[in-house]
Amino acid sequence: MDFEVFTILPEVFPAYLESSIMLRASEKGAIAVHLHNIRDFAHDRHHTTDDVPYGGGGGMIMKPEPVFEAVETVLSFTGSSPPPCPIVLLTPQGRTFTQALARELSTHPRIALICGRYEGVDERIRMNLATDEVSVGDYVLTGGELPALIVIDAVSRLLPGVLGDPNGAESDSHASGLLEHPHYTRPPSFRGRKVPEVLLSGDHSRISRWRREQSLLRTQDRRPDLLARVSLTEDECQFLSGPQPPTSM
């Protein structure tokens, strides 16, 4: 999958993309991240990408000309033709980025990510260039670079060959609509705190049931709003409504 990233700060990306899972995914050819400096498409002497807002007010606004030229040049299309891939503007005003949205984006062989900056972007970028708007949460950052990395990471994990365990992403928190069950590793006892016996039993049926129950309990305890969106069996509903052991920490 190809990610086309449009930013005025391309230098912030390599440290993360050239590490760990992202690096291995790139080396395997599962993903390719192409960084495009919007300043390269500003033709004045100072490569200006921002200007004061019409009507007054604080902050600066990203100019439309270099952003349009950057995206249209890299994607090889013009305003009179449909874009060849989704063009996502990272903005607090977009739809909330969720696991479901990550899965939706992962179905495309190529996506473009526009990193906003300053006070915001010229509305014509939003209305006439972007095909989608995405927010990583109800808070404000200084730019779209961190959100772009979040999208790249979350989407990449869903692609074949990216994770060492081909089913690894399926058990992640939110992948099933629930929070993930607790995890333990060696040693079996640490400072008097023992690993639950069921995980040492070798009984995979019991382990699977325990993990599902722990996932349900943890979600009910920490994110009860998520349960309303998940289809539960009658046994699971009875389990949640009955007396519960302490939720694993």
Residues taking part in catalysis: 92, 119, 157, 172
- Please tell me the number of Cα atoms within 13 Å of 233 on its side-chain side: 6
Neighbours of 10 (CB within 10 A): 18
Beta carbons of 74 and 114 less than 8 angstroms apart: no
**Beta pairing partners, 50:** 62
Please tell me the distance from the alpha carbon of residue 207 to that of residue 203, in angstroms, as a whole number: 6
Phi, psi at 159, each rounded to 5° = -85, 145
Q: How far is CA 29 from the centre of its chain?
A: 20
Beta carbons of 112 and 71 less than 8 angstroms apart: yes
Beta carbons of 114 and 157 less than 8 angstroms apart: no
Q: Is 59 helix (H, G, I), strand (E, B) or coil?
A: coil
